[in-house]
Chain A
Amino acid sequence: MADRTQRNELRATLRERFPRERSQLLPALQYIQDEHGYLPGWAMEVAGWHLGIPSSEVYGAATSYTELSTSEPASHVIKICTGLGCRANGSLELLERTKQELDSADDGNVAVEEVPCGYMCAVAPVAKWDHDWIGRATIDDLKAIAREATSI
């Protein structure tokens, strides 16, 4: 839970950056997610105050988008694309091996997720380490990146 100062700071920033119009809700939520890595409940509430939108509606809109998250993410996230283009290039096997060898979500370290499409089908299979996409990905690529970023 954020203290008063944090709320006031966010409110001041939102006031500076976003006109008080409902159409600014998505840009404001995107800004908060960029800053915090997810949408904390208190921050959604502050966005609602600023834009004059009830918290319930802010929450309703926020949770309808796949790219917005209302829970704190693991330290690192590996996403493996399992769209058809990637499946035809062995992504299901890659997903399986990545889960076996790198998933440590229980410790809040590396979470392995499936994504329906990374929109980079011509360099399939693709994976994403935090914010970076890796084309023609192999389990060795992912292990090397994970080794560098963590101490697995």
Chain B
Amino acid sequence: MTSHAQRALDALKASATQRAVAHSDMTRIVVQVGHCSAAVGADQVAKALASQVPDSSYIVTTGCDGACYDAPRVVVTSPDGARSTFSGVKTEHVGRILGSSGLPTQYESADPYVGQHRIVLDGCGEIDPTSLDEYLLAGGYSGLASALAKPQEKVIDEVKASGLRGRGGAYFPAGMKWESARKFPSPDRYLVVNCEEGEPGIFKDRHLMEGMPHRIIEGALIAAYAAGVHSIYIYINAEADLSTERMKQAVDQAARAGIIGEDVLGSGYNVSVTLRRGAGGYVCGEETTLLNTMEGDRREPRLRPPFPTEAGLFGRPTVINNAETLASVPVIMAHGAAAFAETGSEKATGTKVISLSGALERPGVVEVPMGTTLREIVFGLGGGIIGGKAIAGVAVGGPSSGILPDSMLETAIAPGMLHESGVMLGAGGVIALDENVDVLEAVRSLAKYNADESCGKCTPCREGTPRMVDALDRLLSGAGSPGDLDELRGLAEVVGAASLCGLGQAAGGPINSALHFFGDELAALAKG
């Protein structure tokens, strides 16, 4: 039996198909414009193409495919399906691109998708993020239609069975979070989509918002339905203007099509979506700080318990999920938990989107199965160190984590700790450092970041994080003593134990990983 939601979705798809006919015998020219590629000229290229495009072609502005090293990129597909990819495009190349559509590529680089497993990022850089039609024709919102046809408990069971865990860094099982918010008695509940992404070295949520905003929205709608939520807040980083623009367009389109609002897809379910912007600061991405920010208070964390699933936004049960987590949900509902769980490792199902940067030949955004080794990520997908230099280490998971030496590159990515010294996968930032970078200087920069970003609420974090930097400075300037090592060890422990939020709790990560892996270098400095 076809459900109301499925029938409503089929009707939307049918009219999308009719509208798509207009372009069926034209050449499609895709310009990938994201906030990074715009910074290297992609928006100029898009303008130049738009001003010269012949009647036989049409221009589509998409997000990026993640091959940032080759940005700006233009992909030309002729009506017979032949594709040409142009990399490193400048405005002066536009004439040649338009003249040569259908001809062999001007500059064919290695296929950026080789070695990846794209579920969350599928379609990024391919389909128009500002077109609901294109998302629908690519199978979009079928996960939502399938969810709406099921009782809420069944949706939660399916997500639990998939093994999906939060991709923001804490890896809490998503289904369990929804269930606890749903079970807590309350007249209303909220879902907050955490797109704050204020962590250095991470840019994957922006990439996703710019490339596939509808997938995040679809996941959010499924989560909201399952958790018994009727109002969703999407919280986007202060700097992410393009992401906000595309998310806003997507929300408006979905609302016009009856996918958001009263009686979603004829199912009887009501939901509203509101966009909010952050105002800067690493700690804003911490879930209770984010709630304070939304309520008009200082950006400081709250004491837990009560957990947000019991008393969150405005004191009501609140589910807070990362954008990437929610973007993994539609595929689970559309194809089933088992299909999702086939990917990944024993420890964790599914994929992880990795923000790949540093001294690499091919930095960018990639999606790999959980369990992929750092070596495959850095050397396979990242193309190795620029100019074939030696690798000094890899900073994984940002300032709350730490730096692994090259001897640890066989480590497989997994939720939680990658090494007992405190190195975590976190939100999936991987920054490769070459032999020219002083690893201890890099540790200092992570420690300095934590000190600068400490909100000041908990004294151990406020006072302790700058003292870690001071001790590192003494060591690095040659004025160190063995006492400095003891102080670092002690501070890392105390700050970690006596802070409310993740920033302080994990501020010892860079220090502890340095003491473990680069202990000899530190000991040599401590001798003066």
Contacts and interface: CB of A to CB of B under 8 A. Distances in A.
Nearest to B441: A87
Given A26-B293, A64-B455, A88 B434 contact: yes
B316 to A, nearest CB: 13
Interface stretch (B21-29, B221-229, B353-361): B353-361
A84 interface: yes
A46 interface: no
Interface stretch (A99-107, A112-120, A142-150): A112-120
A23 B295 contact: yes
B13 interface: no
B431 interface: yes
B452 A123 contact: no
Counting chain A residues whose Cβ lies within 8 A of the other chain, the interface size class is 35 or more
A55 interface: no
B69 interface: yes
A139 interface: no
A53 B296 contact: yes
Contacts of B434: 88
Contact of A88 (B68, B200, B437, B446): B437
Counting chain B residues whose Cβ lies within 8 A of the other chain, the interface size class is 35 or more
Interface string A11-38: 0000000000111111101100000000
A95 to B, nearest CB: 13
A87 B445 contact: yes
Interface of B is mostly: mixed
A87 B392 CA distance: 14
A84 B446 contact: yes
B442 interface: yes
A121 B449 contact: no
A121 B358 contact: yes
B352 interface: no
A133 B38 contact: yes
B285 to A, nearest CB: 12
A88 B279 contact: no
A133 B300 CA distance: 29
Contacts of A83: 200-201, 445
B4 interface: no
Nearest to B455: A64
B445 A88 contact: no
Given A64-B299, A68-B280, A121-B358, A88 B433 contact: yes
Contacts of B68: 122-123
Interface in B409-439: 429, 431-434, 437
A82 interface: yes
Contacts of A123: 36-37, 39-40, 68, 71, 363
A68 B279 CA distance: 7
Nearest to A127: B39
A119 B203 contact: yes
A40 interface: no
A21 B295 CA distance: 9
A44 interface: no
Contacts of B432: 88
Interface in A74-130: 82-85, 87-89, 116-124, 126
Q: Which of B199, B238, B296, B442 is most buried by chain A, counting CB atoms within 10 A of its CB? A: B296
Nearest to A124: B357
A25 B296 CA distance: 5
Contacts of A27: 276-277
A24 B294 CA distance: 8
Contacts of A116: 200, 449, 452-453
A134 interface: yes
A67 interface: yes
Contact of A120 (B203, B445, B446): B203
Interface string B69-100: 10100000000000000000000000000000
Given A27-B276, A135-B39, A119 B365 contact: no
Given A84-B431, A84-B442, A64 B202 contact: no
Contact of A84 (B201, B280, B295, B314): B201
A85 B299 contact: no
A51 interface: yes
B279 A29 contact: yes
A116 B398 CA distance: 12
Interface in B24-79: 35-40, 68-69, 71
Given A82-B445, A117-B199, A133-B39, 10 more contacts: A23-B295, A51-B296, A65-B299, A66-B280, A85-B357, A117-B200, A120-B203, A121-B355, A122-B36, A122-B69
28 contacts: A21-B296, A22-B295, A22-B297, A24-B296, A29-B279, A61-B297, A64-B281, A68-B280, A83-B200, A84-B433, A88-B358, A88-B431, A88-B432, A88-B433, A116-B449, A119-B206, A119-B237, A119-B239, A120-B35, A120-B203, A121-B357, A122-B356, A123-B37, A123-B68, A133-B38, A133-B39, A135-B40, A136-B40
Interface of A: 21-27, 29-30, 51, 53, 60-61, 64-68, 82-85, 87-89, 116-124, 126, 132-136
